[in-house]
Structure formats: C-alpha cells, structure tokens
Amino acid sequence: MNLWLRIVIIVVALAPAITFAGEIRGAVTMGGKSIGPDVAIEVHCGDKVYAAATDKYGFYRLFIPETGTCQFQLLYRNQTPSREVVSFEDSTRYDMLVEQDGDKYVLRRK
C-alpha cells in the first residue's frame, strides 16, 4: 500500500478521537509566580492516566477523550497533591494554586 495512503487512513481514523476529545488546560502557580517548567501532571480518569508537564510559564495542556470526574495530580517535590476536576467535550480551564500547609503541599483551584 502506498505510504501516503496509509498516512491518510491513519489521520482520518484518529481525527474523530482528537476532534471529540475534551481539553483540560491552565497554569500552575505558587506564591503568585509560575511553578516553572517540567513539573509532571497526571489526570486519572477511571483506569486511564493522561500525563503532561508544565512549560516554562507553568502552563499545561492535556486532551482527555472521556467526560466526567477525574483526579488531577501534580508531582511536585516528592509529593502528589491532587484535586477533583471535570472533563467535558469542550475545553475547560483549570488554573491551579500550590499552597504549603505545614510540611505538605495542597492543590487548589484559582
């Protein structure tokens, strides 16, 4: 089979999954400043885990095909603060604040 035909078939097959995927995006800050680059983020929806990392401005972006309640988890300084988020078919913005509560980090929605 021609290489271009294979590529077209793959793109057409994946397009609905990308088109109907919900997007969760936002920024993570701590003390009014960006949390910085390469902070790992995981969103747990049922049995599936979607991963991303912050960019140099603390922004992140994930595409989640499922809709419903998920668990947003930040992997920060050997801790995993988390909170519930909801994934929709459309884009949803979740700006998060990392706060220190004693020796633990807590994740809150801005």
pTM (2 d.p.): 0.76
pLDDT tens for 40-83 read 999 999 999 999 999 999 999 999 998 999 999 999 999 999 99
CB atoms within 10 A of CB 1: 6
Could you tell me if residue 14 is inside a domain?
no
Expressed as residue numbers, the domain containing 86 is 22-109
The pair of three-digit structure tokens given for residue 70, joined into one six-digit string: 């998920």
Q: 7 vs 40, which has greater pLDDT?
A: 40
Could you tell me if residue 17 is inside a domain?
no
How many domains does the structure of the chain reveal?
A: 1
Could you tell me if residue 13 is inside a domain?
no
Phi, psi of 102 (to 5 degrees): 70, -125
CATH code for position 44: 2.60.40.10
Could you tell me if residue 57 is inside a domain?
yes
Which of 13-22, 50-59, 92-101 comes out lowest in average pLDDT?
13-22
pLDDT given at position 35? 94
Could you tell me if residue 5 is inside a domain?
no
Give the pLDDT band (50/70/90) at residue 34.
Answer: very high
